[in-house]
Structure 1
């Protein structure tokens, strides 16, 4: 099975094994640590975002920056929304306006990975909607929600990068 330090696994099998093992360890670590800034579900979103952006150094950079941008846009929308009062109309306006800004920023090469920006936006909005009370109220609480998401997404992107390197080291070329 091993030859010259590599296995005879194909790429998909190698990715499945490496990411499966690393994902299990990451889940164990997140549960053991129990830190509200280490969200395993957001780690996996960041991990997938890394691969969605093509992997390697460029994929890491594009994914991580877009994830961050999406979280910033969501936090801005949430701060605006909670400041002016939450209604269906104000929610629609704040989300719509922030999405316009999120997508227009893709004209800048560093923020061109629109799906990854949406991942950052959606994970930030989801954590706010489902668990904002754990982070506090007002703009400070929303900023903490965004920070928790960004930290987790960056960890996920980093694990994506590491899993790509480990996989390429063990699969046949």
Structure 2
């Protein structure tokens, strides 16, 4: 079996199982869409152990930057101007941190940032108000992204075994 077919079969089966698990568990801390973002992020960082580390750490960093921007914004008052300032400053910090090798996967950091901001904008009420709600949002995203990275790692290993035979 060729690599693309192997990936299609393995990720298709695993993705179906992950979706079923997310629905049946029904936890606000297991977001299947964010799991798939983390999974893609793993492959975007070239997979293997280094890809897992780079992706997961950058996903976490992005979520931290977004949470900090959201806490600052909600603390000082939400206006379009303040939103632009908080996001702008946090993105400068997010990208400058890429000078550190461990945080150099800028796209993966953006995935963490974007998924955290999206969940806050679309579902913050489910997690509570203020900084504690924002931290719960970021926690849900990080848990889901890390699970996605783990599934990426496992799918790479399983695909490798399937393709070899």
Q: TM-score normalised by the shorter chain: which range applies?
A: over 0.9
In the TM superposition, residue 172 of structure 1 has moved relative to its aligned partner by 3.4
What corresponds to 1:114 in structure 2? 106
SS, match of residue 171 in structure 1:
helix
Report the TM-score, using the length of structure 1 for normalisation: 0.95
Q: Which one of 49, 63, 79 corresponds to residue 71 of structure 1?
A: 63
More helix by share: 2
In the TM superposition, residue 49 of structure 1 has moved relative to its aligned partner by 0.1
Write the distance in 1 (CA, Å) between the matches of 2:22 and 2:164: 32
Q: Which one of 84, 92, 96 corresponds to residue 88 of structure 2?
A: 96
What corresponds to 2:20 in structure 1? 28
Larger Rg: 1
Q: Tell me, which stretches of 5 or more residues in structure 1 are unaligned?
A: 1-8
What corresponds to 1:5 in structure 2? none
Runs of 4+ displaced beyond 4 Å = none
Q: Which one of 3, 6, 31 corresponds to residue 14 of structure 1?
A: 6
Write the distance in 1 (CA, Å) between the matches of 2:132 and 2:78: 17
Q: Which one of 8, 17, 41 corresponds to residue 33 of structure 2?
A: 41
1:134 equivalent to 2:114? Answer: no
Total equivalences in the alignment: 165
Q: CA RMSD, aligned part only?
A: 0.7
